[in-house]
Structure formats: C-alpha cells, structure tokens
Structure 1
C-alpha cells in the first residue's frame, strides 16, 4: 500500500486520498460548546476567542450510526444539518473544533497517522474501536438528550489521543 500521507501534503491529496484520511471516529459528530460567560445564548462561531474553552459532549448527531460511526446521510449531511461542517483543504486551518486525535488535525500538525488508523489496519476500524478512539458505545442521541441541561453531557474522553 502506498503511504501517500507521508509524501503528500494535505493540500496535494486527491479527493479520494483526502476522504481516506478520515479515521471514522465520529468525534466530529458530537455536539460541542464554547464556555463563554459573556454569551447568554447558544450561537455558532468560526473561531475561539482568548480565554474561551471548547467542551465536547457525549451528545451525537441524530444522523450518526453509533455502531459503525458513520453518517447515515453523508452525502446530504450539510443540507440536513446546517451546523455540520464539511472539512476541506480550504477550511483546514480552522480546525480548532476538531479533537486532538483527528487524523486531519494530526497530519496538519505534523504528527502523522496514529497506529490505530484504518489506513494502517487493512482499512478496518477494529483497532480504532479497541483503542477506544471512536464514539462507539459512548454517546446519547441528540433527540434523547435534555438540551436544556447541555452541561450535564460534558465529556473529556473525546480529547484523548494516543501515539
């Protein structure tokens, strides 16, 4: 297997190569919020201000199949969920909301792919699930969560990263 991610920058990758970099952990499908005492209601943002902290929750998008860690409506996800971000070569610089274990973020930061990445494991997610790096078995669907008590769902496990 050609290890294209070691010889090409993210900007140089073909669409197919780019898509294969996604490890399929589904952590990007978790709801996140920024702790900011100056804001009284939920809003979207394109950046984090100094002093703000991103909190991941264990609340998953309703489109997520939590067993396979795949979007059930991948092709239409940004239409169905306007807040869903499609990560591209163009917006990669704005990946502040991606967890440290995100393969795009790791490559962008020069850290390489982790040993559990599907590209290093016959394109299977088994090693990732065994390493606890996916959302499998750790989430509640947004339709089942009490969004008025958002802070009760804060989770630190999405921020874990290994090798």
Structure 2
C-alpha cells in the first residue's frame, strides 16, 4: 500500500511529505485575486526563485529569506490554501482523493508530470520581466485546472 494512503498527512516523515510534490511548478506561479468575487486566477508568471526548466525552486531551503511571502505547505495550512492546483498531490491527499497516474510516486518516473503535460516547464516567465499592471494579461488556465 502507498504511504500517503496509509498515514495521515501529519504523520508523514519530512522525506515522505516532500515526495508528494509532483514537480508541476503550478504553486510557484503568481496569482491574482478578483476583488469583487474573491476568485483566484493563476498567471504564467513565476516567482523569481523558480527554475522554469526543472520546475523546482532554485533555493528551496532558504526561499523564505528571499521571498518572504512564499507559502510553506504544511498539514496545518492545507485547509486554508484553496488556491492550490486541482492536480496538487497535497490537496488530493488532504481531500481523500487518489493521485493521478502521472504522479511520479504512482508512475515511478520522475519526469512523468512533464511527459503528461501537467507541468509548467518552459512555459512561464520570471516575475521581474512583467510589469504589475500587465499581470492580468498573463492569466492562464493550466492543464488539469479547467474546472477550477
């Protein structure tokens, strides 16, 4: 049986917790909130620490020092993070849903998220290249988020 179905999120080891990340990169994208509706819209603009080729943070251990508003996912914060991608393993496990077949823990392949077209690899631009007023033009619906 898979560890994420056997244990509660709070009981996962740090290694198990980190392995739930599928490496899609969607959580590292800039989001905009509609002031009237509260709806969250995801852009194709990434955090300054995000490596678009690997879909990973370029300074994960010290990210909070460089990006103070970076959100650290924990079992205690998941309920509040309604903006997490619909495909996010943390969200899926929290909601009692199965992981997708393309998730590396299921497929056994580290790059299966990219092969399935579910990552943002090579499809984003760094936040420093986009003016704040132009962010709304960069809103995008990513694969797997169509019903969000």
Scaled by the length of structure 1, what TM-score is found? 0.84
Q: Does structure 2 conserve the Cα–Cα contact (< 8 Å) formed by 1:10 and 1:108?
A: yes
Question: What is the 5 A alignment of 1:1-163?
Answer: 3-37=2-36, 51-125=37-111, 127-157=112-142, 160=145
How many pairs does the alignment contain?
Answer: 146
Unaligned ranges ≥5, structure 1: 38-50
Cα drift, residue 60 of structure 1 = 0.5
CA distance in 2, matches of 1:56, 1:158: 12
Question: CA shift at 1:158, angstroms?
Answer: 5.6
Structure 2 CA distance for aligned equivalents of residues 63 and 53 of structure 1 = 25
Q: Could you list the runs of 5+ residues in structure 2 that have no partner in the other structure? A: none
Structure 1 runs (4+) greater than 6 angstroms displaced: none
Residues 56 and 158, structure 1, Cα contact 8 Å, conserved in 2: no
TM, length-normalised to structure 2: 0.92
2: CA distance, partners of 1:24 / 1:65: 11
